[in-house]
Amino acid sequence: MNTGSALKLCYTVPLWNRLSRVAVCYGGPRHLSAIAKNHGEKRPSMQEPHPDIERICYSEDQLRDRVTEMGRQITEDYAGKQLVVISVLRGAAIFMADLVRAIDLPIEMDYMAISSYGSGAVSSGIVRVLKDITSDIEGKHVLIAEDIVDSGLTLNYTIKSLASHHPADIEVAALLYKDRKDAPRIDCKYVGFEVPDEFIVGYGLDYAERY
């Protein structure tokens, strides 16, 4: 991961369209969708802001510091317990990787793949399980590492699915919690940042597999 200026895009070769920061797309999904169709054009340099991006919400340093704080609290809360950290691919993969390294405990990791967005910017309302966990979590303490809580549809489905495996308990560590008036409040034990109801990309949060 690039550790340069906090307000610049981070590109990896050949995946030049990834962000190591959290940013808001300029003009929302409509503008982004139009931009995404023109990715064959000249690529921006490392020093230029990407044309899709309106502003940076959180810098790389802010993300690292907050995830470290969350990991420290999780370490205290789960000391002496069998902890399994589960993330929903693919958006939460980067957050989970950083989070588990900040947890100073022996832990298990597993992954689920669930989709409610497809290639769009708004949830379709239909949840599909693409990959289930393979670990035995019965009687263990489960922590879901979630990139962003939006409508809550995917997260609620994930919690119900994991509950069928009879863990000791299930808690949620969300990097971002979106403030939506039209969605029910979901109890997350750990929240990195509360964010406005805007379309956010970067640090693993994608739009149609980009960023």
Q: Which residues are catalytic?
A: 150
Tell me 43's DSSP state: P
Residue corresponding to tokens 């609620």:
156
Looking only at Cα atoms, what is the longest distance across the chain? 54
Nearest Cα neighbor of 71 from 129, 139, 157, 143 is: 143
Q: Are 135 and 162 in contact (CB under 8 A)?
A: no
CA 156 to chain centre: 15
In whole angstroms, give the CA distance from residue 67 to residue 101: 10
